A and B are shown apart, each in its own frame.
Chain A
Amino acid sequence: DIVLTQSPASLAVSLGQRATISCRASESVDSYGNSFMHWYQQKPGQPPKLLIYRASNLESGIPARFSGSGSRTDFTLTINPVEADDVATYYCQQSNEDPYTFGGGTKLEIK
């Protein structure tokens, strides 16, 4: 199984500053010119919500403050600037190989 390691496990960022979350895969999640890495936001008491698909594509309705980058085994979710509403846990997920797996999550707080 592909193991996804997120770092940091938690981070505190001041309003208006940049938050950067990393997701490292134990093997490449690239195929056919695409990176099958996706990012979700989960607020307390809510289900996960898709933010970014295939590494860098912004889901419809998601603010442009969110962006994704990376390829093969190293991926990054960036939130810039951070707003109070962004307090949540963020998860990466790979779909390049069965079984689909998720990272352990990164909890974002406001400093």
Chain B
Amino acid sequence: EVKLVESGGGLVKPGGSLKLSCAASGFTFSSYAMSWVRQTPEKRLEWVASISSGGSTYYPDSVKGRFTISRDNARNILYLQMSSLRSEDTAMYYCARRYGSSYYFDYWGQGTTLTVSS
């Protein structure tokens, strides 16, 4: 059974940093691209970052230069390092497995919440 478990969320002041983790199990982690998707308090879904099985990374302009996605294939863990945080980064952050070359998200974790507020 595919399982994705996020952790590391919390309350951070504007300009601060935080690192999220996602522990994966039930599939060959190193063979799949992985992504982070966030859901704002208004329930809007936003793709945040992706990393290929080979380690190539992709970001939308809204987080480029501030967020860094990485992976540890030996420990089956996905990370999202976030810096220069803004109030608009407040959201539930989901780890998701990205499927093949069609780039849809076939499995999602339960999410971890980030609140950016002074």
Using CB atoms and an 8 Å cutoff, list the residues of chain A in contact with chain B. 1, 34, 36, 38, 40, 46-50, 53-54, 59, 89, 91, 93, 95, 98-102, 104-105
C-alpha spacing A100/B99, complex, angstroms: 13
Q: Which residue of A lies closest to B62 (CB)?
A: A99
Complex interface: chain A residues within 8 A of B107 (CB)? 50
Q: What is the chain B residue whose CB lies nearest that of A102?
A: B45
In the complex, whether B104 has a CB less than 8 A from a CB of chain A is yes
* Dominant secondary structure of chain B at its interface with chain A: strand
Question: Which chain A residues border B102 with CB–CB below 8 Å?
Answer: 34, 36, 38, 53-54, 95
B binding-site residues for A, Cβ under 8 Å: 37, 43-47, 58, 60-61, 94, 99, 102-111
Residues of B contacting A47 in the complex (Cβ-Cβ under 8 angstroms): 94, 108-111
User: Is A95 within 8 A of B109, CB to CB?
Assistant: no
The reply to whether B45 and A93 contact each other, CB–CB distance below 8 Å, is yes
Considering the complex, give the chain B residue whose CB is closest to the CB of A96.
Answer: B103
Cβ contact within 8 Å between A93 and B108? no
When chains A and B are docked, how far (Å) is the Cα of A50 from the Cα of B2? 14
Q: Which residue of B lies closest to A34 (CB)?
A: B102
**Cβ contact within 8 Å between A101 and B111:** no
* B45, B46, B60, B99: the one within 8 Å of A48 (CB): B45
Whole-angstrom CA separation of A98 from B60 in the bound complex: 7
Chain A residues near B61 (CB, 8 Å)?
99
A residues less than 8 Å from B94 (CB atoms): 47-48
**How far, in whole Å, are A93 and B94 apart by their CA atoms in the complex?**
15
Residue from the set B43, B99, B103, B104 with the largest chain A CB neighbour count within 10 Å: B104
User: Nearest residue in B to A105 (C-beta to C-beta)?
Assistant: B43
Question: Which one of A50, A53, A98, A99 has the greatest number of beta carbons of chain B within 10 Å?
Answer: A99
